[in-house]
Amino acid sequence: MEEVREDKIGSVLSWLQAGARGKSSRMQFKKLQDQKLALYCCQRAIRAMMMAKTWKWLQIWLAIKPNLKCTQFGKYKKEYEDKIALAEANIDKAIAECNAVVSVHERLQGESKSLLLPFHLVDRQFKISLIKLPLEGQKMIFRSKWNEN
């Protein structure tokens, strides 16, 4: 009975070891297979780059590409989102400042109208005096002629 038990334990252990070795071998094979595919991919990319290196269109593209905005879309998007957030954060302050400036402007407009009124009167008086001078001269001439007769 002990011997049967020993044989059974031995067979279970050998089955367990075989399963573990199989699993380990499959994992190692999978790892090697992934490395092989990565190597093929790298080789294909290097081969394509070496062939395309002499292609004039690719040289032009590689010279232009870093300067294109479409390749840096994420950077510009983040920059504009930050500007929008900053503007939204300061909009209340800007509106208050705008209202203050508008009220000061309206007040100054009212004051300027009240200050310009006397200037209009002075300007009119000056124009009238310019018209009056020649008329007074004519009046004097007329009186002197009248007194002679």
* Distance, first Cα to last Cα, the chain: 175
**Segment 81-130, tens digit of pLDDT:** 999 999 888 888 888 888 999 999 998 888 777 776 666 666 777 778 88
Contact yes or no for 52/58 (Cβ under 8 A): yes
Per-residue pLDDT tens over the stretch 68-80:
766 677 888 899 9
- Looking from the CA of 42 toward its CB, the CA atoms found within 13 Å total 6
Range 60-74 average pLDDT: 77
Interatomic CA distance for residues 17 and 67, integer angstroms: 60
